[in-house]
Chains A and B, each alone.
Chain A
Amino acid sequence: MNAILRSAVVSALMIAGSTTVYANCGISSGRVSIVGNEFPAIQTVAKGAMDCAGEGIEVKSNLTADHQKINVAGLQGNPAEYTSAIIANSSIVALMNEDVIRPLDDLVAKHGADIPKNQLITINGKVMAVAFMANAQHLTYRKDVLAELGIETPKSYEDMLAAAEKIRAAGKSEFPIGGAYKAGWNLAQEFVNMYIGHGGQFYKEGTAEPALNNDSGIAALNMMKELSAYMNPDYLTHDSNATGAEMEAGNVIMMNMWGSRVGKLQDDEGAPAEIASNIEVSGPLMVGDSGTPATTLWWDGWTVAKNISDADAEATFLAMKNGISPGILNDETMGQAVWMIEGYTPAPVNQGVFDSISSGAVAYPMLPYHGLMHTALGNELADFLTGKEDAAKTLADVEAAYATAAKEKGFLN
């Protein structure tokens, strides 16, 4: 190697060495790898974290609707494949059950003084996650159709049924109600909403014993069946993507929809302007006379894996903190969610979630065995809606399927 070449190589190495500058996240080195659900708000957070990537700092993300199928396995290894899982109040339970996420108290003390207290999710006195957005399902409807027929905005599922009958009779739509009743997770979620709306409790007080085969459960199922008469006959295959598409196509006039998904319906993609501009949100629907809305409150937040080095944990904490810093908010991202971030100004599309919070709705149950209940509901409820069996038998089947699974998992004897 001649002298000129050698000096060129040396100086090149020196330049490379001296460019160890940091993005403004305060990370010097480390590995950050994020797994999470895929919707606009989470993409924004992940992008905010990715901005911390730089020399010696690797930040990557895997956002997928199948996140909960992979996050436990992805956090279980040592070192864990993912250093952070973005989760919601239902899915953090699976990670807590398997003991794969790390308490964040030390990192909060060191770097998190500016994170508002109410964003810290504290379980048994330990900070386990940092929430960044709230979410809920609430009424989403076509204001032009309701106005034309002189129908008041429904406040309850009973109102919704009456409105649906009028809309059908007026020939506006044969199937005016959208229901994300796809067998499995979605169907179970709608039952959870409806059962809570009827004032139901899932378990015998203080135990993991199921207790939903009761009048509230039967009333909830009957209401779901009445609603289904006004839904596209394929409703058992529809998730919220499908009901959203049905609303954009002008077929669905009213539905219970996730606040985080309404923005997509109102934008200029998919629906013609005369439909998109008439999609409005309202508060959660009531049912019966329990006084509790038939919906659940949700938060989304991030966690840090347990099986990683302290350096990687610190890097992950800082990158994720950057992902939820006020800097990520701009005109485009502002309306994507009900952000728990300083500087957030609510957009009209977020009103449904705020109404849900202020109307006394309860949070989705965060219990170690509730995932098994949700699965059992998703598998068994279709038998009632297809008319194969009555409500009490279906609920008995749910209890039996849940109890078997809970016994296997060691939650019941």
Chain B
Amino acid sequence: MKKVTERLKRHAEHGKRWVIAVPTLWLMLFFALPFLIVLKIAFAESAIAIPPYTQLLTMADDAFDLHVYFGNFIFLTEDALYLTAYLNSLKMAAISTFLCLLIGYPMAYHIARAKPSTQTVLLLLILLPSWTSFLIRIYAWIGILKSNGILNNTLMWLGVVDQPLAILNTNVAVYIGIVYAYLPFMILPLYANLVKHDHSLIEASQDLGARWLQSFWRITFPLSRNGIIAGCMLVFIPVVGEYVIPELLGGTNSIVIGKVLWQEFFNNRDWPLASSLALIMLLLLMLPIHFFRKYQEKEWEEGK
């Protein structure tokens, strides 16, 4: 009998190892390892070849020849375009994250205070748009914001403006598009946090004479810190690299890093330069991603 349980145990240990190994290996191979290749190609030179870059390591006369090229990074500092693009992206991400928080917080609060059966319905209503196509929802804004679009037609019909407002192809349009597309990502973690709050704390503070704003600032807001961090990171990090929204709604002068990277890669076919742009973006996002991961792990341990 003892033998059997021992064999079963060994068997289970073996199975366990597979359960861990399969997803880890898949994600290592197709998510982590590619970053090393980006690192490699960022130090290669662009060349007219297939693939269009020089090799880092070559064999010549029975010896390895290591060829590291720093030209891409030097080039990035010389042209002001790239610095502008990085700064614009960071600014755009920061402002739209703040706007999402401003709109998303009260919305999440409203859902968390509703009856439990209503909460499910309201959450579904928030999530439903993000299950339809993201691309098509951004496309909708082109029709609304165009100079002869729905918004301008309405405003002119109401007599608010005499001539159409130029909104499409400006930064305002990009902000509208980003807030629109990313709002659900802000609301979800905020709701998940707010719904866990113990309401008696607020009642106690009110019994002690606190006004609503006071108890909100001193109780609800600090308690929801983890939700705020998660929501902000879920918006901020992807928006820094956003390509589709600035491309469709922004004008030629809305220079952001996602667009520049795309153009370097697809239009100029300069793979090494695109790689070094991606590498710097990754370095910039390292800290926020670390933040996000830490929060996630906290939530993970808490729930157990």
Do A and B bind?
Answer: no
